[in-house]
Structure 1
Amino acid sequence: MAEIEIEQALKNVTQRMKQALLKRPEAHLQIPPRLVAVSKTKPPEMIITAYNNGQKHFGENYIQELESKGNDSNILEQCKEIKWHFIGNLQRNKINKLLNTPNLFMVETVDSKKLATALNTACQNRKRETPLSVMVQINTSGEETKNGCDPEEAGKIVKIIRDECPNLKLEGLMTIGAYNHDLSKGPNPDFQKLLQCQKKICEEFHLNPADLQLSMGMSNDFEHAIEVGSSSVRVGSLIFGARTYVNKGKGDNPETTIGTGLSRIRHMECADAYVNVLKSWKYSYPKEIHFVITKKALLDKIQATFACHFPLVTVTPQSRNSKASSGGLLQDNHAMTHAVQTNNSAMAATSGAMAEVRPMDVEMSDTNDSCPICLCDFTDKKTLDKCGHSFCSACIDHSFSAVGPYCPVCQTVYGKIIGQQPPGTMSTKKEKRSLPGFLECNLYKVEYEIPSGIQEKCHPNPGKRFYGAKRTAYLPSNKEGETVLKMLQKAFEQKLIFTVGDSRTTNMTDVVTWNDIHHKTNILGGPSRYGYPDPDYLNRVSLELETKGITPADVFGQKIKPKISN
């Protein structure tokens, strides 16, 4: 995200905060809330830009990332008055590591008496000159997946901090509200519960409500939180753009398995994340990275990404016919293991370099005596006419009905695919500015809006509510970009852009997510940040659309529509 974009984003969020405060009932405190800019996964350069535009408070979820950024030489030199908030789960054995952070201002996630006592002792041992500000995190929803103490325990933790922890200063209470709460049904119950906790604790300890802050509200609900009384909101993606995550493995090595199956991570996102990790790797590089892939198209995406950034690294295909594994992770007998052979000098020499994409010449293994779906001998063998793959007649008929009209082995499409995307709108407008790498033309700004609703039979939990989404993407206005845009519009009409499922970035369930058609949601930042320049992006997304049965020939002669609904 460019400096001017961060500056504008901060202005927009600040203005929205002011407008929300005006809607707060007079009975509530009218103290302006504090903005904590959540910078997790974002580089120091973005933090410095935000700081230079007046933002002083920043929040981080992970201790290692906070320690690294807090000790970054550029941040220390250019952001002398920065105030760090730790807003993630804190374990007692990580307290000393947390306290290594210069300018640590507040820990918002104290959720037990033992943690408060341990934090106080660590501060005492380090002889902090001033008490460390803390908040008590309360699990207002009672969800097992969320951290925080029981509301009934909050008062006991407050008492411990006030009476037995002189090296800590109680600042307030913190909670994480229900994601995308439907305000038509009333105020967010999590926020109401925190307000009740504040009232109860203030009465018990004879505190002024102004002296017991409330940290509640994030990017999706900060305005509502301010309206009902929040003293501090934690906003990240609205300021810095969408986050980039990598699936973590054990120890110092990134996890060496990626896929769209049980882990629910899309291949292209994983490849981008691995490249990002390897570029900033502080240890010796892993000797091999293994991909177990059943689809050559997916292999090409991963290989192409590595070839762009590490052209000296070799990829060695190891084809094997493998039956389903005992753990149930491998469900296809045409899987192949591809080992990316690495070494320190090759990685170091090519990190960040760009090279021509060199696709591998890989043969997908096949068998002629068993059905790829049931792994048994053919029963009433049926061969698909376009790709030539064979299946049991009942198996392929069921696959077409349950999954979609395409070959399970090679993804060749047979007919029109209709997805599971909930109703929504796709708006397109042309803007007089350019994208990096496409300076000769303007850009198209594409805005998607999928409102919250009730899941249908095709979704994971029929009858249960799902939470909607708003997304923005960018395309160049040249001939290739316009073709891709028309293909995306057709995909939207066929309900293929989004689906309902689990979000890897927020860990929320029953939310609208992307459906394996990758979009550029940032103007700048390159492939690792879903932005430009990325010279091969239009080709890649075109191939992704073709795997869903939408080709350039399907949209030839069509006009770009300003707004469509599905």
Structure 2
Amino acid sequence: MSIQQNLEHILSRIRAAELRAGRPAGSVRLVAVSKTFPAEDVKACHDAGQRIFGENKVQEGLGKIPSLPPDTEWHLIGPLQRNKVRKALEYFTLIHAVDSLRLARFMDTVAQETGKRPRILLEVNVGNEDSKFGFFPETLEKEWPELSSLNHLEIAGLMCIPPPVENPEEARPYFRRLRELKEVLSGRGGATLTELSMGMSHDFETAIEEGATLVRVGTAIFGGRSYAPAS
């Protein structure tokens, strides 16, 4: 199928999942994950009506941004290195994977220097996996008072990548954990958390049923990825 057909199919599944969950139509936004795909594929998806795209790396995103119309919204969904923070704050509308208090402090400083107030999500390691980035839930609760007091950041919500599972139902407890954590933290320190970025190509419907407001779908829209071999 074409990118347009794939996109239409994903959007229809999102709407059906919203309906099943008793949620209003349009309460879930699709982030089309365009990492590793060329700008012409992103343009084809934009032509089909999609407006939000997710990139894993700042530099790769910067190579595509000039090729797309100005109404395109770019999200950074991969790990953010400190030396890329200034560029990220300049070009990305939402940064999904702020994974430590140290990074948040640094971003707050850069935001103050540049006169910006970036919207960010805090990445939560809901499976307590040593191999993954993100706040452990208990660490996030402990560090929340300082995080929520950073005056130059807008903490819009939380994000997670649950442990890999074959059956999407097995991811449900992790999505539920993230939603419950958002409910616990929202309002504390004046931060009103509205976003939950969770769910990808294989499990986004389950994530929607558990409260996702942003789902990150790439391969189901653009097709399989071919990664360049490491040099």
Larger fraction in helix:
2
Are the aligned partners of 2:33 and 2:53 in contact in 1 as well (CA < 8 Å)? yes
Are the aligned partners of 2:15 and 2:26 in contact in 1 as well (CA < 8 Å)? no
- What are the ranges of 5 or more consecutive residues in structure 2 without an aligned counterpart? none
| Equivalent residue number for residue 167 of structure 2 | 182
1:50 aligns with 2:45: yes
| Equivalent residue number for residue 163 of structure 1 | 149
> In structure 1, which of residues 85, 88, 96 is the aligned counterpart of residue 78 of structure 2?
88
1:195 aligns with 2:179: yes
Q: Distance in 2 between matches of 1:247 and 1:187?
A: 30
Q: CA deviation at 1:65?
A: 0.7
1:334-345 aligned within 5 A: none
**Secondary structure of the structure 1 residue equivalent to 2:53:** strand
Q: Distance in 1 between matches of 2:103 and 2:96?
A: 12
Question: Could you say if the C-alpha distance between residues 172 and 157 of structure 1 is closer, same or farther in structure 2, counting changes exceeding 3 Å?
Answer: farther
1:321-336 aligned within 5 A: none
> In structure 2, which of residues 108, 125, 132 is the aligned counterpart of residue 146 of structure 1?
132
Q: Distance in 1 between matches of 2:187 and 2:166?
A: 29
Q: Distance in 2 between matches of 1:157 and 1:30?
A: 35
| Equivalent residue number for residue 116 of structure 1 | 104
| Equivalent residue number for residue 211 of structure 2 | 229
**Secondary structure of the structure 2 residue equivalent to 1:144:** coil
> In structure 1, which of residues 114, 122, 137 is the aligned counterpart of residue 123 of structure 2?
137
1:259-278 aligned within 5 A: none
Aligned partner of 2:63: which letter? S
1:38 aligns with 2:33: yes
Question: Could you say if the C-alpha distance between residues 44 and 218 of structure 1 is closer, same or farther in structure 2, counting changes exceeding 3 Å?
Answer: same
**Secondary structure of the structure 1 residue equivalent to 2:93:** strand
1:215 aligns with 2:197: yes
Q: CA deviation at 1:118?
A: 0.9
| Equivalent residue number for residue 16 of structure 2 | 19
Question: Could you say if the C-alpha distance between residues 112 and 187 of structure 1 is closer, same or farther in structure 2, counting changes exceeding 3 Å?
Answer: closer
Q: CA deviation at 1:170?
A: 1.3
1:504-523 aligned within 5 A: none
Return the index of the structure with the highest Cα Rg. Answer: 1
1:535-546 aligned within 5 A: none
Q: CA deviation at 1:215?
A: 0.6
Aligned partner of 1:57: which letter? I
Question: Could you say if the C-alpha distance between residues 204 and 181 of structure 1 is closer, same or farther in structure 2, counting changes exceeding 3 Å?
Answer: farther
**Secondary structure of the structure 2 residue equivalent to 1:143:** coil
Question: Could you say if the C-alpha distance between residues 11 and 31 of structure 1 is closer, same or farther in structure 2, counting changes exceeding 3 Å?
Answer: closer
Question: Could you say if the C-alpha distance between residues 6 and 137 of structure 1 is closer, same or farther in structure 2, counting changes exceeding 3 Å?
Answer: same
Are the aligned partners of 1:138 and 1:148 in contact in 2 as well (CA < 8 Å)? yes
**Secondary structure of the structure 2 residue equivalent to 1:148:** coil
Q: Distance in 2 between matches of 1:183 and 1:39?
A: 22
**Secondary structure of the structure 2 residue equivalent to 1:164:** coil
Given the two structures, how large is their TM-score scaled by the length of structure 1?
0.39
Q: CA deviation at 1:157?
A: 4.9
Q: CA deviation at 1:158?
A: 4.3
Q: CA deviation at 1:82?
A: 1.0
Are the aligned partners of 1:180 and 1:221 in contact in 2 as well (CA < 8 Å)? no
Are the aligned partners of 2:18 and 2:24 in contact in 1 as well (CA < 8 Å)? no
Are the aligned partners of 1:67 and 1:100 in contact in 2 as well (CA < 8 Å)? no
> Residues 254-303 of structure 1: CA distance to partner in whole angstroms, max 9, x if unpaired?
x1xxxxxxxxxxxxxxxxxxxxxxxxxxxxxxxxxxxxxxxxxxxxxxxx
Q: Distance in 2 between matches of 1:222 and 1:229?
A: 10
**Secondary structure of the structure 2 residue equivalent to 1:226:** helix
Given the two structures, how large is their TM-score scaled by the length of structure 2?
0.90
Question: Could you say if the C-alpha distance between residues 112 and 171 of structure 1 is closer, same or farther in structure 2, counting changes exceeding 3 Å?
Answer: same
Q: Distance in 2 between matches of 1:183 and 1:105?
A: 29
- What are the ranges of 5 or more consecutive residues in structure 1 without an aligned counterpart? 249-254, 256-566
Percent sequence identity over aligned pairs = 35
Are the aligned partners of 2:122 and 2:158 in contact in 1 as well (CA < 8 Å)? yes
- Cα RMSD of the aligned pairs, angstroms, is 2.3
Q: CA deviation at 1:141?
A: 0.5
Relative contact order, higher structure (CA 8 A, sep 6+): 2
Question: Could you say if the C-alpha distance between residues 141 and 187 of structure 1 is closer, same or farther in structure 2, counting changes exceeding 3 Å?
Answer: closer
Question: Could you say if the C-alpha distance between residues 16 and 30 of structure 1 is closer, same or farther in structure 2, counting changes exceeding 3 Å?
Answer: closer
Q: CA deviation at 1:66?
A: 1.5
Are the aligned partners of 1:116 and 1:157 in contact in 2 as well (CA < 8 Å)? no
Are the aligned partners of 1:213 and 1:231 in contact in 2 as well (CA < 8 Å)? yes
Q: CA deviation at 1:155?
A: 3.2
Aligned partner of 1:62: which letter? K
Q: Distance in 2 between matches of 1:183 and 1:216?
A: 12
**Secondary structure of the structure 2 residue equivalent to 1:134:** strand
Are the aligned partners of 2:168 and 2:202 in contact in 1 as well (CA < 8 Å)? no
Q: CA deviation at 1:59?
A: 0.4
Q: Distance in 2 between matches of 1:182 and 1:54?
A: 30
Question: Could you say if the C-alpha distance between residues 236 and 172 of structure 1 is closer, same or farther in structure 2, counting changes exceeding 3 Å?
Answer: same
Question: Could you say if the C-alpha distance between residues 147 and 136 of structure 1 is closer, same or farther in structure 2, counting changes exceeding 3 Å?
Answer: same
Are the aligned partners of 1:116 and 1:160 in contact in 2 as well (CA < 8 Å)? no
Question: Could you say if the C-alpha distance between residues 31 and 56 of structure 1 is closer, same or farther in structure 2, counting changes exceeding 3 Å?
Answer: closer
Q: CA deviation at 1:16?
A: 0.3
> Residues 298-345 of structure 1: CA distance to partner in whole angstroms, max 9, x if unpaired?
xxxxxxxxxxxxxxxxxxxxxxxxxxxxxxxxxxxxxxxxxxxxxxxx
Q: CA deviation at 1:123?
A: 2.2
Q: Distance in 1 between matches of 2:175 and 2:81?
A: 25
Q: CA deviation at 1:207?
A: 6.5
**Secondary structure of the structure 2 residue equivalent to 1:49:** helix
Q: CA deviation at 1:52?
A: 1.8
